[in-house]
Every structure is written in structure tokens, then in C-alpha cells.
């Protein structure tokens, strides 16, 4: 029986969101010291954070996540570099503009959000879960909801971007929600 999970983050909001999705108490790790995320895949980076979390919170169940957007016309980029795409000086609006510029002449606008969760148990057991939100890139940003690349990803079957969906609508189909449901099932929560 898992009574609580520590999330490898200092962000209480992220922990509260995961708690809602898992139906189990989730707390941020106190005095979280983030490791260098130098993996080439979402799984590699989630593992780096989960292992750092397990070292910082021994005896606990620790979960870490990594997520981002993959664009087919860019061979999967920005991928693990989603948060830094276009250079460190950019904000979400600038990064989104840089991404649309990079695909401006591409016919193929297929893209997806991906989320990988890694859980490490008190005995060192390791579990993985992932989720995907398939879609295509809009031609210009639309909608003020959400964050990051939400204004430019149109989920498959939708006409609206994620930035135009309500939080509940997005949670019902999101990569993060799917990964959390998969982890909840794997952990038997």
C-alpha cells in the first residue's frame, strides 16, 4: 500500500496536479536539488530526476516526469529540448513563434506532446509509464489557456488548439493524464 509519493520537483503546483491525477497524496521533495538533465530521451531525463529524487528522499516512493513536444517535420525536435527551444532568452510566446517559423515551409504538420513518468520505490524497484497527445501544428497561436506549446497544438479530432480547451478538456486527453493513469494502474493505486 503506497501512502504517499514524493515528486522530484520543487514545484508544489506540479505535485498537486499529479495528486489529483493519481488519487494519492503527492508532495514535492523538500529542498529539491535538480540534477543536470542531459539525457537524449524523455525516459532518460525522467530517470535522471527519479534517481536523484530517490537519493534525496530515501525510503520513499519517488516519481519524476519529463515531457515536451515532438514535431515530425523536425525529426522529433524540439523533444527533450522543448523548454529551451530557440535559445535560453525566449519565453513561451517566443519559443512557440520559433517553432512555427521552423515548420513554415513544411507540408507535414504532425506533432505530439509526450510525457514519461518514472517511479522508484523504497527498495529501488523502478516503473515506467508514458502518454501521448497526438495532433498537428496550427498556423498561428490560438487561445490563452494552458502553457508552453498549448496555443499551437491541435489535438487529433479537434479544431481548437490546446490553448482553447478548458483545463478539464485538456486533462481528459493529455499526455500527462494518460501517463498518470497508466502509472496509477501499474502502482495499483
Active site residue 92: no
Residue 69 in the binding site for ligand IMP (CB under 6 A) = yes
CB-nearer residue toward ligand IMP: 4 or 81: 81
Q: Which of 28, 53, 68, 177 binds ligand IMP (CB under 6 A)?
A: 68
Q: Comparing C-alpha atoms, which of 140, 139, 142 is closest to residue 160? A: 142
- Exactly one of 65, 66, 130, 150 is catalytic; name it: 66
Q: Which is nearer to ligand IMP, 6 or 177 (CB)?
A: 177
CB neighbour list of residue 106: distance below 8 Å, 6 or more residues apart = 73
Decide: 135 and 98 in contact? Cβ < 8 Å.
Answer: no
Q: 3-class DSSP state for residue 59? A: coil
Residues 6+ apart with CB under 8 A from 1: none
| Region label for 76, one of left (φ > 0), alpha (ψ between -120 and 50) or beta (otherwise) | left
Residue among 17, 130, 150, 164 that touches ligand IMP (CB under 6 A): 150
Distance separating alpha carbons of residues 184 and 176, to the nearest angstrom: 12
Q: How far is the CB of 59 from ligand IMP (least distance, A)?
A: 26
When binding is defined by CB under 6 A, the residue of 148, 154, 161, 178 that contacts ligand IMP is 148
Assess 53 for contact with ligand IMP (CB under 6 A): no
Query: In the complex, which residues of this chain contact ligand IMP (CB under 6 A)?
Result: 66-69, 82-83, 113, 146-150, 162, 174
Amino acid at each position: 500500500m503506497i501512502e504517499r509519493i514524493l515528486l522530484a520537483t520543487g514545484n508544489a503546483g506540479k505535485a498537486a496536479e499529479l495528486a489529483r491525477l493519481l488519487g494519492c497524496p503527492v508532495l514535492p521533495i523538500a529542498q529539491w536539488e535538480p540534477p543536470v538533465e542531459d539525457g537524449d530521451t524523455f525516459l532518460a531525463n525522467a530517470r535522471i530526476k527519479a534517481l536523484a529524487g530517490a537519493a534525496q528522499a530515501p525510503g520513499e516512493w519517488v516519481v519524476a516526469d519529463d515531457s515536451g513536444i515532438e514535431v515530425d517535420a523536425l525529426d522529433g525536435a524540439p523533444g527533450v529540448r522543448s523548454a529551451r527551444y530557440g535559445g535560453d532568452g525566449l519565453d513561451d510566446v517566443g519559443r512557440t513563434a520559433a517553432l512555427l517559423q521552423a515548420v513554415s515551409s513544411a507540408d507535414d504538420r504532425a506533432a505530439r506532446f509526450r510525457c514519461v513518468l518514472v517511479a522508484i520505490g523504497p527498495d529501488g524497484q523502478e516503473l515506467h509509464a508514458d502518454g501521448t497527445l497526438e495532433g498537428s501544428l496550427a498556423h498561428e497561436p490560438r487561445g490563452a489557456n494552458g502553457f508552453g506549446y498549448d496555443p499551437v497544438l491541435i489535438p487529433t479530432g479537434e479544431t481548437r488548439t490546446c490553448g482553447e480547451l478548458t483545463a478539464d478538456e485538456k486533462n481528459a486527453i493529455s499526455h500527462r493524464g494518460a501517463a498518470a493513469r497508466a502509472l496509477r494502474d501499474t502502482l495499483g493505486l
